[in-house]
C-alpha cells in the first residue's frame, strides 16, 4: 500500500487536512503511535486505508519534555496536536518508505523540524531533505540503527530501535495486521484479494511494484532476519509484540515460497 497523492482535501494553511485518526498511544517508554488513515484518491472514491505514525522521544529532562522524532508522519486534529506537543518538541521528521510522506511538509513547516529521507523519493518531492538516510548514517534517535533495502526499485529503509528487546519499524515492506481498522469496506475487499492477511506479511503490493523484473527481494529479507528484534510496527496495521521475529520468518518464507520452483 502507499499513500500516493491524487487530490487530498486541503486545510486553510494549504497543506492536506487531518483525516480520521485515533489518540496517541504509548507502546513502550518514549515510544508512541497514532493509528490514522488516508484516502486513496488514486484508487477511486470510497477507498480509505489505515496508516500509522510512530513518535519517538529522546532527551526527556523532566515531566513530558523531550525531542520528538515523527516516523510516517500523520497530521492530527487540533486535540491530537495539543497532545503531541505535550509529549515534547517536534524536532525531526523521518521518512522510511518511498510511498509515504503526505504530511511531512506540514510538520517541517509547522515546527521547523529537520527532515530525514533517503536520497530520492519518487512520490513526494517535498520537503527538501536536510539529512540523507544511508547505511551507517547518524540518526536523530538514540540506540537506533538504519537498515537499507538494497534491491527494490524505489528507496526503502527500516529502523531498528535497540530497546525493549528490539523494535523494528518499517514502512510498506513488512506489515503486521490484526484487523482492517480505519479501512473503508471497498478497501477491505481489495486488501483481502491482494493478500493482506491478518498476520505479519511482506507487503504484497509493495513487493509486486518494487521487485525488479526477473529478480527477487529475498536477500534483503534474509539480511533483515539477521537483526535482533522482538517487536515490530509498520506504517500500516498494528504492533506485533514479543513474537515479531518468528512472525517475520514465517512471512518471508510464505512471500518467497514459489521462488524455489522457478525454472
Distance, in Å, from the CA atom of 74 to the CA atom of 19, rounded to the nearest integer, reads: 8
| One-character DSSP codes across 134-197 | -TT---SSTTEEEEE--SSSS-BEEEEE-STT-EEE-SSSEEE-SS-TT--HHHHHHHHHHT--
The CATH number, out of the four listed (3.40.309.10, 3.60.15.10, 2.60.40.10, 1.10.10.10), of the domain defined by the range 24-257: 3.60.15.10
Say whether pTM exceeds 0.85: yes
Work out whether the CA dihedral 106, 108, 111, 112 comes out positive or negative. negative
Residue for grid cell 547518524: 138
The answer to whether residue 261 scores a pLDDT higher than 60 is no
CA 22 to chain centre: 16
Nearest residue to 18 via CA among 110, 129, 91: 110
**Mean pLDDT, the chain, whole residue set:** 92
Task: Look at strands 174-176 and 31-39 and give their pairing.
Answer: unpaired
Q: Domain map of the chain by residue range?
A: 24-257
Predicted confidence (pLDDT) at residue 20 exceeds the cutoff of 80:
yes
Q: 201 near 251, Cβ under 8 Å? A: yes
- pLDDT at 255 (0 to 100): 98
Check: CB of residue 177 under 8 Å from CB of residue 193: no
pLDDT band of 193, cuts 50, 70, 90? very high
- E-strand stretches of 59-112: 67-71, 89-94
Amino acid at each position: 500500500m502507499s499513500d500516493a497523492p491524487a487530490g487530498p482535501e486541503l486545510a486553510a494553511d494549504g497543506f492536506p487536512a487531518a483525516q480520521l485518526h485515533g489518540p496517541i498511544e504509548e507502546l513502550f517508554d518514549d515510544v508512541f503511535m497514532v493509528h490514522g488513515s488516508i484516502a486513496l484518491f488514486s484508487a477511486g472514491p470510497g477507498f480509505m486505508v489505515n496508516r500509522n505514525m510512530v513518535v519517538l522521544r529522546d532527551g526527556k529532562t523532566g515531566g513530558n519534555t523531550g525531542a520528538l522524532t515523527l516516523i510516517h508522519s500523520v497530521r492530527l486534529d487540533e486535540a491530537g496536536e495539543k497532545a503531541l506537543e505535550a509529549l515534547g518538541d517536534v524536532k525531526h521528521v523521518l521518512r522510511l518508505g518511498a510511498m509515504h510522506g503526505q504530511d511531512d511538509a506540514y510538520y517541517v513547516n509547522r515546527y521547523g523540524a529537520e527532515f530525514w529521507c533517503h536520497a530520492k523519493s519518487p512520490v513526494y518531492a517535498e520537503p527538501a531533505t536536510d539529512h540523507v538516510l544511508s547505511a551507517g548514517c547518524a540518526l536523530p534517535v538514540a540506540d537506533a540503527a538504519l537498515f537499507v533495502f538494497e534491491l527494490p526499485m524505489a528507496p526503502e529503509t527500516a529502523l531498528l530501535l535497540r530497546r525493549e528487546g528490539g523494535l523494528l519499524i518499517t514502512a510498506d515492506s513488512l506489515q503486521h495486521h490484526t484487523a482492517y481498522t480505519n479501512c473503508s469496506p471497498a478497501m477491505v475487499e481489495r486488501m483481502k484479494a491482494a493478500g493482506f492477511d491478518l498476520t505479519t506479511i511482506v507487503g504484497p503490493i509493495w513487493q509486486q511494484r518494487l521487485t525488479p523484473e526477473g529478480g527477487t527481494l529475498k536477500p534483503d529479507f534474509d539480511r533483515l532476519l539477521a537483526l535482533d528484534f522482538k517487536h515490530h510496527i509498520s506504517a500500516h496495521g498494528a504492533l506485533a509484540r514479543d513474537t515479531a521475529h518468528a512472525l517475520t520468518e514465517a512471512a518471508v518464507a510464505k512471500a518467497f515460497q514459489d521462488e524455489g520452483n522457478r525454472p
